[in-house]
Structure 1
Amino acid sequence: MITDENPDAESPKEKEPVKILLAEDDKDDQELFIDALEAADVPSEVTALENGQELVDTLRDKSQPDPDIIFIDVNMPVKGGKQALEEIKGDKELRDIPAVMLSTWDHPADIEDTFDKGADLYVQKPNSFNGFVLVLKKVFFLHWAKALLGPVKNLFFVYEKNISQGDS
């Protein structure tokens, strides 16, 4: 008797990859992000873009499917992350796409500004690979939790030190 069932084959519905747009001008940071996603066991399809203008143009391109989530570096050339965020959240067709801001800075004014502009999370870039893995695990946990709970401002700022304690 011949069957099509292969117990070792992954079911296509087992883990649908998360479609991610990453707007990040630093190639090393792009690679670190992608490697950390893999290490965090987040099945994903990442499209990396160089700046905020490319991000906005890609999102407005109707031939491309909308991503599940976007990650935006705050400081980029051509069009910075905050300006891109403002345009995205001001567009009725794009505003519901979750947006996570990435920055090496943790300046309260930047954090407040991106929150006011509609970002869903603000993540301080970790200094280590393991820190990045932890942060991404938390971001994806918070993202799906937020979909159920609505915006929670005290969960808005994520950085390595506020998640590595007790999350081992």
Structure 2
Amino acid sequence: MALNKMNIVLADDDADDRMLFEEAINEIEIKTELSLFPDGKQLMDYLGHPSTKLPEIIFLDLNMPVKNGMQCLQEIRQHKALSHLCVAIYSTSSSEQDIEETFINGANIYINKPNSFGALKKAVDKVLRLNWQYHTSALNRDNFLLRL
């Protein structure tokens, strides 16, 4: 029986990025259960299913087909049963507009996709170790963008 596993979800349309993310998760010392989705629609269908054990953290790519990360974020924040979930935007975009828009729409943290596996592992480890109660109560622009 798996005790105290952190339930994590990643929605990313890039198969290589999903694979690297899964490898990084498997190499850090935190026990996790990871669910992967190739687009926002499949993620939202999963989150909306009555038997789904809701994740502690959702890593959300912005640029996806069918339903993008911004649409998912807005749906999550408007949905009574999902609005409390921690959402980490996980994107190649470093555009101020994207960062600002995700902040305004209620994302908890913004991570630029690291360009090396070591940096990815470090970023994922750091996000999973955050004290989310503290982090979300003191949320401001300075601690929104994860800097490594």
Normalized against structure 1, the TM-score is what?
Answer: 0.82
Supply the distance in 2 between the matched residues of 1:140 and 1:58 (Cα, whole angstroms): 21
Q: Which residue of 2 aligns with 1:43?
A: 31
The aligned amino acid for 1:37 is: I
Aligned with residue 147 of structure 1, among 111, 115, 133: 133
- Identical columns (%): 36
The 8 Å contact of residues 87 and 109 in structure 2, kept in 1 or not, is answered as yes
The secondary structure found in structure 2 opposite 1:22 is strand
Q: 1:65 to 1:106 in 2, by over 3 A?
A: same
Q: Tell me the distance in 2 between the aligned counterparts of 1:141 and 1:80.
A: 27
Residue from 89, 105, 114 that aligns with 1:117: 105
Instruction: Name which one, 1 or 2, has greater alpha-carbon Rg.
Output: 1
Q: Report runs of 4+ in structure 1 exceeding 6 Å deviation.
A: none
- Greater relative contact order (CA < 8 Å, ≥ 6 in sequence): 2
TM-score in terms of structure 2 length: 0.92
Consecutive unaligned residues of structure 1, counting only runs of 5 or more, are 1-10, 164-168
Aligned residues: CA RMSD: 1.5
Return the letter of the residue paired with 1:140. L
Task: Name the SS for the 1:102 alignment partner.
Answer: strand
Shift of 1:40: 2.1
Q: What is the deviation of 1:141?
A: 2.5
Sort the Cα spacing of 1:133 and 1:53 in 2 relative to 1 into closer, same or farther, 3 A.
Answer: same
Shift in Å, 1:140:
1.6
Gaps of 5+ in 2: none
Q: Counterpart of 2:83 in 1: which secondary structure?
A: coil
> Shift of the alpha carbon at 1:12?
5.8
Check if 1:57 corresponds to 2:49: no
